[in-house]
């Protein structure tokens, strides 16, 4: 495809402009084939560190490395043309200092060509977000249930059940916004608080296990397509692709064993 005909990717300013407008459609993507399927429908594709659990069988996201995120980010960039692609900064790649975060963010962006990075944390990460955005690194924030803090939290726990903590979570959102993030994920936050935070912010909020009042929604694609047997409460399964794969592979296995595959249409013959 020539440069003249190549479709322009959605930008961070396009996402910002959707605040209070058409909801942002976001999904995770980890591979080129999946990115190709999602690209026409999504405004934003997130190469999440959830790849460690979804594709690599890890128990948490903590073992995921920068190189792993780069590899999957490169694949998603190859498979997409329209959607903004953001890549998660994995655990340990940004918490030490703003300088460490900048080095790793630039490394990820340069090696993948992605538009933005995402990092977890509210007020305590605001100085790092400000350091990055002031130096040309677009940042997608993430507050509420932050999977990289699973060991500190003692599991994947919903946030905001105690109304006395609501002001703290709202302050996290405002801090991320004021630091320059162009949008923020609200994960695992009770519905009324998620709606309140979304209404309080001037940047778009993207919910996952949050509220329909958010400016957009994101799900792990494999969860909503039915690959996983167990999914969180907030996931709606839009298809049962896992079951379809099981049935298709079972059919293949039977035909291999009874020698009906390959058939005449699937083999090559010599010239007569």
Catalytic residues: 187
Is 118 annotated in a binding site? The answer is: yes
Is 49 annotated in a binding site? The answer is: yes
Q: Which two tokens stand for residue 49?
A: 């560190």
Place of tokens 């996931």: 235
E strands, the chain, where?
Answer: 24-28, 44-47, 84-88, 116-118, 139-144, 183-187, 205-208, 216-219
**Cα–Cα distance measured from residue 78 to residue 191, given in angstroms and rounded to the nearest whole number:** 36
Is 88 annotated in a binding site? The answer is: yes
Q: What is the CA radius of gyration of the chain?
A: 21
Q: Which two tokens stand for residue 254?
A: 């039977």
Residue 262, CA distances (Å) to 108, 121, 244, 247, 269 in order: 44, 54, 21, 18, 13
E strands, 106-204, where?
Answer: 116-118, 139-144, 183-187
Task: Residue 103: name the closest of 115, 113, 89, 114 by CA.
Answer: 89
As annotated, the binding site for 3-methyl-2-oxobutanoate includes 49-50, 88, 118
As annotated, the binding site for Mg(2+) includes 49, 88, 120
């Amino acid at each position: 495809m020539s440069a003249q005909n190549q479709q322009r990717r959605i930008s961070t300013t396009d996402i910002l402009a959707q605040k209070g407008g058409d909801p942002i459609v976001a999904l995770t993507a980890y591979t080129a084939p999946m990115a190709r399927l999602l690209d026409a429908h999504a405004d934003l594709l997130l190469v999440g560190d959830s790849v460690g659990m979804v594709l690599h069988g890890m128990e948490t996201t903590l073992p995921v490395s920068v190189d792993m995120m780069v590899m999957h980010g490169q694949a998603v960039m190859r498979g997409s043309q329209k959607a903004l692609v953001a890549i998660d900064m994995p655990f340990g790649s940004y918490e030490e200092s703003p300088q460490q975060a900048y080095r790793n963010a630039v490394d990820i962006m340069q090696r993948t060509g992605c538009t933005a990075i995402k990092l977890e944390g509210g007020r305590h990460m605001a100085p790092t977000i400000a350091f990055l955005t002031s130096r040309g690194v677009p940042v997608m924030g993430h507050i509420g249930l932050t999977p990289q803090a699973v060991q500190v939290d003692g599991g994947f726990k919903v946030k905001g059940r105690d109304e006395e903590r609501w002001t703290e979570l709202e302050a996290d959102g405002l801090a991320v916004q004021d630091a320059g993030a162009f949008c923020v994920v609200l994960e695992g936050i009770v519905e009324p608080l998620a709606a309140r935070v979304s209404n309080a912010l001037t940047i778009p909020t993207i919910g996952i296990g949050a509220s329909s009042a958010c400016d957009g929604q994101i799900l792990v694609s494999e969860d909503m397509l039915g690959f996983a047997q167990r999914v969180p409460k907030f996931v709606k399964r839009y298809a049962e692709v896992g079951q379809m794969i099981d049935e298709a592979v079972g059919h293949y296995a039977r035909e291999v064993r009874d020698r009906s595959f390959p058939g005449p249409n699937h083999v090559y013959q010599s010239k007569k």
